[in-house]
Structure 1
Amino acid sequence: MPVSLSINSLVTAIILLDNKHHIAYLNQSAEQLLGYSGKQIRDESFFELVKGDFDQALLDRFSQQQNTALLEEIEIKTSTGVLTTNIVLSNYQKENKQYTLLELQSNEHHSRIRKDIELQQQSRVSNHLIKNLAHEIKNPLGGIKGAAQLLERKLPSQFSNKYSQIIIRESDRLSQLVDRLLLPSKPEEKSFINTHILIEQALELVLLQQKHPIQIIKNYDPSLPNLRVSPGQIQQALLNLIKNAAEAISSDGAIEIRTRIIHQHTIGKIQHRQVIRIDILDNGSGIPSSLIKDIFFPTISGKNGTGLGLSIAQSLVQRHGGIIEVENLETSSLDQEKRSAKTCFSLYLPVEKENDSKHT
């Protein structure tokens, strides 16, 4: 049936039922939520396909009314499992035909949006803390350099010059290092690049630093479109995440890197047509539950370290409109080797069409 483009592009999952409660239409969000395409299930009975905690008599009564109704905390079985959702019922008329419109509002979807907003707020606080930290580090470095220059003028001998120059040179080097690691880097030109090239480059750098071999499981989707990003910044974010996973596992541990394309995905409050998701899973000891909500704050770490790596990675990804999420897991494809994954960092980056970029 023809529908308006506005319904098809809504973030909310929309299902239209005819007067026999057969599925007449699904918008894109509903297809993603239920795991079926509209063509697959058109004209099938809604109650045969999706079994939920409400019955046909309720819809029969509602179809005779002109108001809306809200059903809360409804469990619906879909092709992807059981989903807890709120359902808003309303009447919809098109071409002199009456339909029942169901809006499926996933509690999980709203919870993830709130989580993303919290992560974005954490990143802003983290950036402020990092800037202050960089300032505190550079202040004494400036004093050391100034003292060395003063010493060089007071004691103009070849012996004192040699060592004062070392102090000045090393102070400058440390100051530049702080600029690169802690302060916002200079804008890097964006270009289209294959996601897996960035992953492989970061992975190569991590493996070169390892004292013992690591099993890497690559679960790539070869059909991913190119990303328009600042390659150095995204590679740095991936490097920090993969290095973090490598430090979390034991000598016989494993890391899985998985890539997927997601349609109609929301990051924070913005919905994107396509998003690339990069999962980095490890079977280390996991992140303590007391730390997982704050793991992206600087100086927060589940291991011995500064805790700056994850905070910097989050900041770099958010500059590209993306987000990094984390969760502790119980199972994954790592179980094929009888290894249970403990932690999954998921990096989301919106896809920009190459034709669209020409107008920006």
Structure 2
Amino acid sequence: MDDRLAALNLSPIQLRNMLKTVVIIMDEHFDILYVNDAALALLETGLKQIHDRKFYEFFIEDGIERATFEDALRNREDFSETEVQLCFKDGRCVLTDITATCFDIDDQRLMLLEIRQIDKQKKITQETQQHAQQQAARELVRGLAHEIKNPLGGIRGAAQLLEKELTNPDHKEFTQMIVDQSDRLRSLVDRLLGPNSLPQLKWVNIHEIIEKVRSVIELDISHNIAFARDYDVSIPDMYVDPDMVQQALLNIARNSMQALMSSETPEACITLKTRIERQSVIKGKRHGLCALISIIDNGPGIPRELKDTVFYPMVTSKQNGNGLGLSIAQTLTDHHNGKIDVESYPGYTEFTLYLPIEKRTNSNE
């Protein structure tokens, strides 16, 4: 094996640069002494620009735990941390596993960093788990909703019959209250059950749907939010239910608008972006082409404690919200064999709809 490897005539530097793992060596002052190609890609810089720069200069103030690295260097202690989020000054955030090894050369204390990006693997795992949890939560809510809905009709009918027997007009106020509250609960239960109709599929330009959503939101005179568009006009016509897709996008856009308004974000902006992605995996199935529709805002971000449950029914951070908008958007997207992905941190929230692009054939004309 050693002879065959030697015959390849690969130098140690070439081998290190072929690694997908980021390798960085720095001294006790955080000055970078060595990087491989994977590190240059992560830091988005060139080899000439990397020298004489300190490692932490690439990150926002709280984008990296400097104290952890300082303690390790000072005490010559190696460490490993999983699922560390590194946030860069250009707005990027990546999820990583980090291993740090301290060593001395010529009385100089150094640290070797190995950084592995785990965003994609984590997303695939989380997507599978969250889809199963959301389905279970949805079935539980639907079961409870049916159990509530069945007696509501009887309560409403009994109140109406009782009202006819009352001789004192003042007492009718109470029976009317029962009827009104029953109607309110029935409306809430209907929303909990979500859309039951099958999608009415047709070939449409996805940007026409997005523009309708933008127009509806912009007509709301209660806000002062700028809109930006970043469209990939090469996306072909798609075989979708335009009303369902519009409702899903509208629910997400309204969520962004409300977050910006409640936080009074200065220079509030919502960006509508479309892209094409190849070989996307959605719920374990690979799709050759997918349209990505992103709604991005510069608001406060989703609270950390809600990130994993944001698509569950009745989960909301809004004081007067009912927590159904994103749950309904998820259901409508499921009807198209798609998914919704979310990335959020302070100053940035992006919801992305993944919709598979079908080939136009005679069977779905």
TM over 0.5: yes
What whole-Å deviation, never above 9, does each CA across 1:206-230 have from its counterpart, x for those lacking one?
A: 3334512211111111111122122
Task: Provide the aligned C-alpha RMSD in A.
Answer: 4.1
Offset of residue 280 of structure 1: 1.1
Aligned to 1:205: 216
Aligned to 2:254: 243
The answer to whether structure 1 residue 230 and structure 2 residue 196 are counterparts is: no
Alpha-carbon spacing, 1:230–1:149, altered in 2? closer, same or farther (3 Å) = same
What whole-Å deviation, never above 9, does each CA across 1:294-320 have from its counterpart, x for those lacking one?
A: 211222223222222112211221221
Counterpart mapping for 1:51-130 below 5 A: 51-53=17-19, 76=38, 107-130=118-141
The answer to whether structure 1 residue 296 and structure 2 residue 262 are counterparts is: no
Q: Are the equivalent residues in 2 in contact too, given 1:327–1:345 (CA < 8 A)? A: yes
Q: Are the equivalent residues in 1 in contact too, given 2:224–2:268 (CA < 8 A)? A: no
Query: 1:309 is matched by which residue type in structure 2?
Result: G
Alpha-carbon spacing, 1:166–1:306, altered in 2? closer, same or farther (3 Å) = closer
Counterpart-to-counterpart distance in 2, 1:84 and 1:344: 16
Aligned to 1:333: none
Aligned with 1:311 (options 294, 316, 327): 327
Counterpart-to-counterpart distance in 2, 1:106 and 1:320: 30
Counterpart-to-counterpart distance in 2, 1:195 and 1:328: 25
Alpha-carbon spacing, 1:246–1:163, altered in 2? closer, same or farther (3 Å) = same
Runs of 4+ more than 6 Å apart:
19-22, 47-50, 77-85, 156-170
Offset of residue 173 of structure 1: 8.0
Counterpart-to-counterpart distance in 2, 1:167 and 1:311: 29
Aligned with 1:267 (options 272, 278, 282): 282
Identity percentage of aligned residues = 38
Alpha-carbon spacing, 1:356–1:76, altered in 2? closer, same or farther (3 Å) = farther
TM-score, normalized by length of structure 1?
0.62
Alpha-carbon spacing, 1:141–1:111, altered in 2? closer, same or farther (3 Å) = same
The answer to whether structure 1 residue 134 and structure 2 residue 130 are counterparts is: no
Counterpart-to-counterpart distance in 2, 1:240 and 1:223: 26
Q: Are the equivalent residues in 2 in contact too, given 1:52–1:75 (CA < 8 A)? A: yes
Higher RCO by CA contacts (8 Å cutoff, separation 6 or greater) = 1
Task: Report the secondary structure of 2:228's partner residue.
Answer: strand
Alpha-carbon spacing, 1:178–1:191, altered in 2? closer, same or farther (3 Å) = farther
Query: 1:222 is matched by which residue type in structure 2?
Result: V
Alpha-carbon spacing, 1:136–1:261, altered in 2? closer, same or farther (3 Å) = same
**Paired residues, number:** 269
Counterpart-to-counterpart distance in 2, 1:194 and 1:78: 39
Residue range with higher mean Cα deviation, 139-148 or 342-351: 139-148
Counterpart-to-counterpart distance in 1, 2:204 and 2:147: 37
Q: Are the equivalent residues in 2 in contact too, given 1:322–1:347 (CA < 8 A)? A: yes
Counterpart-to-counterpart distance in 2, 1:78 and 1:187: 49
Offset of residue 157 of structure 1: 12
Aligned to 2:339: 323
> Where in structure 1 are there 5+ consecutive unaligned residues?
1-18, 23-46, 55-73, 86-104, 331-340
Q: Are the equivalent residues in 1 in contact too, given 2:311–2:326 (CA < 8 A)? A: yes
TM-score, normalized by length of structure 2?
0.61
Offset of residue 261 of structure 1: 0.5
Query: 1:322 is matched by which residue type in structure 2?
Result: G
